[in-house]
């Protein structure tokens, strides 16, 4: 039997657990830029129709007392690691498939822990006791049904599809529930009068393959309850990527280059932290009209340095003819393997080998500084304000942008305003910071979209001795002739 375990409203549940003020309240985890989207919504927020991937402004329209909390990925990753460790106490065959879900094959564990439902109950109880979080579990003879089952009685659900129940379950299972069936396939299936997985049984493999390609063959098997995919313990991640929706659409090469560099560094750091190397780099560009394009390239050898990833990402970017403003930029790496995996050595060291090694040692040093301080204390010169192009100059392609941020929490010490001033001067934005009567702090930041986005990110962290609970930002008109940053009293 296979178990599929998925945490309930994961990011939101972690925040609600850690902050009593958020409990039983409509909460979303989201960025704070005007174009941010909801990454998850608490079940209280879902009652207002709010869901993952909904733009934040729309979520606010659904619920006027919505509480918005910035994501703390480090905390969620740590909780995820502990959840996986708990599941692994019951069976060694655990396959994490995302930050909040895993498959577990419990064949052979029954003498030790009891029947499947009892094992599932024990896992639920252990996660609740250790982490005060609830999850939903699906139990089925095959992986794809276990996943569908875990979603059926959320939150805090337990759904068991036994071997005997499986044929009837398949007969009635709406086809849209099958992972991989998109809207296009749905339309084609409606034409064939296929509405449930059971309906697929009328068609032979040749016709299904003709209509749906390789996926048709999988459907042929699934509708007979056959799913050959096995639970793969600790499956290696297939890719790592990072992307940024820009605070405002851009049309200049320099800013795009800086965003790509920031992403390449993030992806490279993630890769090295996991002890991996990659053999392929890709970029994603989404334009202001929401069309998007991707490019990827296989590398000659396995790489993990940010510099190498950036070099390839940039050359891929240069191949794209940019005719529209850019809304989002992403960098990804794939064809991953452990850095310790055996590789075919060249007889002669390839050209640039020494430089590659040097960059890798720079990365190691920068990574350890990042680990120690939890943020970028060292960045390439091109990302330092002194090296960035002055606003409004250099062809006038970089537009200025301005935001007003209201920061609440333990933020009103003079230290907070001083630190904001220092950060603003370092990043090179103009504007001001001042205390508001209600205990929060108001700040205005004006500069290039990238600079403003960095200040916004800084606000979420805040000064060392402060505690930032919420940051609300809104875009405001650019203030002419404002060139410095000041503390207002």
Q: Provide the annotated active-site residues.
A: 101
DSSP per-residue letters across 53-104: T-BHHHHHHH-TT-EEE---HHHHHHHHHHHHHHHHTT-S-EEEEETTEEEE
450 lines the binding site for Mg ion (CB under 5 A)? no
Q: Which two tokens stand for residue 264?
A: 């390449």
| CA distance linking residue 181 with residue 376, whole number of Å | 41
Note the residues at the interface with ligand TTP (CB under 6 A). 6-11, 39-40, 52-53, 99-101, 154-155
88's contact among Mg ion, ligand TTP, none, with CB below 5 to 8 A by partner kind, is none
Task: Name the 3-class secondary structure at 227.
Answer: coil
| CA distance linking residue 101 with residue 84, whole number of Å | 9
Residue 99: CB minimum distance to ligand TTP, A: 6
Q: Segment near Mg ion (CB under 5 A), from 8-16, 72-80, 221-229, 452-460?
A: 8-16
Query: Which of residues 2, 3, 5, 6 is near Mg ion by CB under 5 A?
Result: 6
Residue 214: CB minimum distance to Mg ion, A: 25
Q: Segment near Mg ion (CB under 5 A), from 92-100, 114-122, 315-323, 457-465?
A: 92-100
- Distance (Å) of CA 203 to CA 169, 223, 228: 19, 10, 20
95 lines the binding site for Mg ion (CB under 5 A)? no
- Whether a cis peptide bond, with omega within 30° of 0, leads into 155 is yes
Which H or E element spans position 18?
helix 10-18
| Contact (Cβ atoms closer than 8 angstroms) between residue 392 and residue 398 | yes
Residue 40: CB minimum distance to ligand TTP, A: 3
Q: Return the C-alpha torsion angle 12, 15, 19, 25, nearest 10.
A: -10
Residue closer to ligand TTP, measured from CB, 182 or 464: 182
Q: Return the C-alpha torsion angle 279, 265, 366, 382, nearest 10.
A: 130
105 lines the binding site for Mg ion (CB under 5 A)? no
Residue closer to Mg ion, measured from CB, 136 or 473: 136
Neighbours of 353 (CB within 10 A): 12
Residue closer to ligand TTP, measured from CB, 5 or 145: 5
7 lines the binding site for Mg ion (CB under 5 A)? yes
**What is the sign of the dihedral through the CA atoms of 168, 173, 175 and 178?**
negative
11's contact among Mg ion, ligand TTP, none, with CB below 5 to 8 A by partner kind, is ligand TTP
Phi, psi at residue 416, to the nearest 5°? Answer: -60, -45
Residue closer to ligand TTP, measured from CB, 39 or 280: 39
Buried b (16+ CB within 10 A) or exposed e, 85-100: ebbbebbebbbbbebb
Residue closer to Mg ion, measured from CB, 5 or 248: 5
Task: Tell me the residue nearest to Mg ion as measured from the CB.
Answer: 101
Residue 340: CB minimum distance to ligand TTP, A: 30
Residue closer to ligand TTP, measured from CB, 10 or 310: 10
258's contact among Mg ion, ligand TTP, none, with CB below 5 to 8 A by partner kind, is none
416's contact among ligand TTP, Mg ion, none, with CB below 5 to 8 A by partner kind, is none
101 lines the binding site for Mg ion (CB under 5 A)? yes
Task: Tell me the residue nearest to ligand TTP as measured from the CB.
Answer: 39
Q: Which residues contact 57 (CB under 8 A, 6 or more apart)?
A: 34
CA atoms within 13 A on the CB side of 186: 10
Residue 45: CB minimum distance to ligand TTP, A: 11
100 lines the binding site for Mg ion (CB under 5 A)? yes
Site size for Mg ion (CB under 5 A): 5
Residue 10: CB minimum distance to Mg ion, A: 5
Residue 51: CB minimum distance to ligand TTP, A: 8
Where do contacts with Mg ion occur on this chain (CB under 5 A)? Answer: 6-7, 10, 100-101
């Amino acid at each position: 039997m296979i178990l599929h375990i998925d945490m309930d409203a994961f990011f939101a549940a972690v925040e609600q657990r850690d902050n009593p003020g958020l409990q039983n309240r409509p909460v979303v985890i989201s960025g704070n830029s005007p174009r941010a989207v909801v990454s998850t919504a608490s079940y209280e927020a879902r009652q207002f129709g709010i869901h993952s991937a909904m733009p934040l402004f729309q979520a606010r329209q659904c619920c006027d007392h919505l509480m918005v909390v910035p994501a703390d990925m480090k905390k969620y990753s740590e909780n995820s690691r502990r959840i996986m460790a708990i599941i692994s106490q019951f069976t060694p065959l655990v396959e994490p498939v995302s930050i909040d879900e895993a498959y577990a094959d419990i064949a052979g564990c029954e003498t030790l822990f009891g029947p499947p439902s009892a094992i599932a109950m024990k896992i639920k109880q252990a996660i609740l006791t250790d982490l005060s979080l609830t999850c939903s579990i699906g139990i089925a003879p095959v992986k794809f049904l276990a996943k569908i089952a875990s979603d059926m009685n959320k939150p805090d659900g337990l759904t068991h599809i036994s071997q005997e129940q499986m044929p009837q379950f398949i007969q009635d299972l709406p086809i849209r529930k099958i992972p991989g069936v998109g809207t296009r396939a749905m339309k084609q299936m409606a034409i064939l009068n296929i509405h449930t997985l059971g309906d697929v049984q009328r068609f032979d493999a040749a016709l299904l393959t003709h209509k749906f390609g390789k996926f048709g063959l999988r459907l042929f098997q699934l509708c007979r309850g056959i799913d050959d995919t096995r639970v793969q313990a600790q499956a290696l991640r297939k890719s790592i990527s990072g992307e940024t929706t820009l605070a405002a659409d851009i049309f200049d090469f320099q800013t795009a280059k800086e965003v790509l560099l920031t992403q390449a560094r993030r992806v490279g750091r993630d890769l090295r932290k996991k002890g991996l190397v990659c053999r392929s780099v890709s970029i994603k560009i989404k334009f202001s009209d929401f069309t998007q394009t991707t490019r990827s390239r296989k590398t000659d050898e396995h790489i993990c340095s940010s510099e190498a990833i950036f070099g390839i990402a940039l050359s891929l970017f240069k191949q794209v003819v940019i005719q529209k403003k850019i809304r989002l930029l992403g960098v990804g790496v794939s064809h991953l393997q452990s850095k310790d995996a055996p590789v075919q050595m060249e007889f002669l060291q390839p050209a640039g080998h020494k430089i590659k090694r040097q960059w890798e040692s720079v990365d190691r040093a920068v990574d350890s500084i990042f680990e120690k301080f939890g943020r970028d204390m060292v960045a390439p010169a091109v990302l330092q304000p002194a090296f960035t192009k002055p606003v409004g100059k250099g062809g006038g392609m970089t537009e200025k942008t301005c935001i007003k941020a209201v920061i609440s929490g333990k933020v009103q010490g003079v230290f907070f305003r001083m630190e904001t001033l220092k950060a603003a001067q370092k990043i090179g934005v103009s504007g001001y910071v001042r205390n508001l009567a209600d205990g929060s702090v108001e700040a205005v930041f004006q500069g290039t979209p990238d600079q403003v986005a960095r200040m916004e990110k800084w606000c979420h962290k805040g000064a060392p001795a402060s505690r930032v609970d919420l940051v609300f930002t809104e875009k405001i008109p650019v203030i002419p002739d404002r060139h410095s940053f000041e503390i207002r009293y």
